[in-house]
Homo-oligomer: A and B are copies of this chain.
Amino acid sequence: MTIREVARVAGVSAATVTRALSTPEVVRPATRQRVREVAASLGYHPNRAARGLITGRTGNFGLLVPDLANPFFPSIVKGVQGRAHEADHAVFLADTDEDPAAEAGLVRKLAKQVDGIVLCSPRMAEPELRALAGEVPTVLVYRRVPGVPSVTAEFLDGMRQAVSHLTALGHRRIAYVAGPRTSWANRERVRSLRAVTRRSEVELTEMGNVIPQFPGGVSVADRVLAAGVTAVIAYNDLVALGLLHRFAARGVAVPDDISVLGFDDIPLAEMVHPALTTVALPKEEAGQAGVDLLLHLLDRRTAVRRELPTQLMVRGSTGPAR
């Protein structure tokens, strides 16, 4: 069912058909009406590939995530997918399996099928990222690179909430279990934490770096206990859950013996016992904002930056210092 067939049946040229459908105001009402009726009765829908070929617009977005199995990401994907859908765009999803080297290749591969790409927590180095952003309209989510539109969260404020909460409970010696050294998110966390604790009476012990997964937390738990702190802030919730798991196995009571605080607020955080106190980062909102920024970039060709609020979720894993 092609445009020519519609044109033939309606007794007009193909040009008039496309006009009647996509810029109706330029065709005579009678003609427009007739063409649209014929198109509808024949069940005609323009071939998107052919349209994309000439307009350069595909009506699709790309979305790259490092690891969909990491519970931090699915909500972001939902946000992106939902908002993209509202804007009548479909979403290509690609999972890079935490391989920084694979990212650029996937982006370039997707590039010609999409109008723009949302890069979620990309692991690749900044220069390469900047180069990529020059080739394809790109928005970063949870990564910041000057000149590239990005969605992040107020880490500093989140960390301030976390530390204030702990000091209010009487904690003075706090450990931080760091994530991967090369991770942008980890650098942001460390920077924020140091800034917040600098002029306070808090004594900060940094340990790590661990992989940002459950086993990472398990592996460092005993060292945390040996450090003689009364509270520990983990790089993220998965690491915090690893700590909780190992603490439970060793009979260490949380929060009576030690308080544990995570970062992200993944769904699991409130399913465990004790439920995890954590700094919630916007996820679905971040995905939506990413699409908004992409639409803005495509429309007005300007790079915008957006910083979303964070919120400490106080649950059962933090309590008064011993």
How far is A90 from B109 in the complex, measured between Cα atoms in Å?
A: 9
Main secondary structure of the interface of A (DSSP, over half): helix
Point out the residues of chain B lying under 8 angstroms from A90, CB to CB. Answer: 92, 94, 109-110, 113
Q: Could you tell me if A92 and B95 are in contact, using CB atoms closer than 8 angstroms?
A: no
Name A94's closest neighbour in chain B (CB-CB).
B81
Nearest-CB distance from A235 to chain B (Å)?
Answer: 16
A245 on the B face (CB < 8 A): yes
Q: Could you tell me if B110 and A271 are in contact, using CB atoms closer than 8 angstroms?
A: no
A77 on the B face (CB < 8 A): yes
A43 on the B face (CB < 8 A): yes
Q: Could you tell me if B110 and A95 are in contact, using CB atoms closer than 8 angstroms?
A: no
A50 on the B face (CB < 8 A): yes
Point out the residues of chain B lying under 8 angstroms from A68, CB to CB. Answer: 74-75, 77-78, 81
Point out the residues of chain B lying under 8 angstroms from A271, CB to CB. Answer: 214, 238, 241-242, 245, 268, 272
Name A244's closest neighbour in chain B (CB-CB).
B273
Point out the residues of chain B lying under 8 angstroms from A267, CB to CB. Answer: 69, 71, 214
Total interface residues on A, CB under 8 Å, equals: 48
Candidates B71, B78, B111; contact of A71 at CB < 8 Å: B71
12 cross-chain CB contacts under 8 A: A47-B53, A47-B112, A49-B52, A71-B267, A81-B94, A82-B95, A90-B113, A91-B92, A214-B267, A268-B271, A272-B273, A273-B273
For the A-B complex with A242-B271, A248-B273 known, give 16 more contacts whose Cβ atoms are closer than 8 Å: A45-B109, A47-B112, A49-B58, A50-B53, A63-B93, A71-B74, A74-B74, A81-B95, A82-B97, A85-B94, A92-B92, A214-B267, A245-B271, A245-B272, A272-B272, A273-B273
10 nearest A-B residue pairs (beta carbon): A93-B93, A248-B273, A49-B49, A68-B74, A49-B52, A241-B271, A49-B53, A268-B268, A90-B92, A47-B112
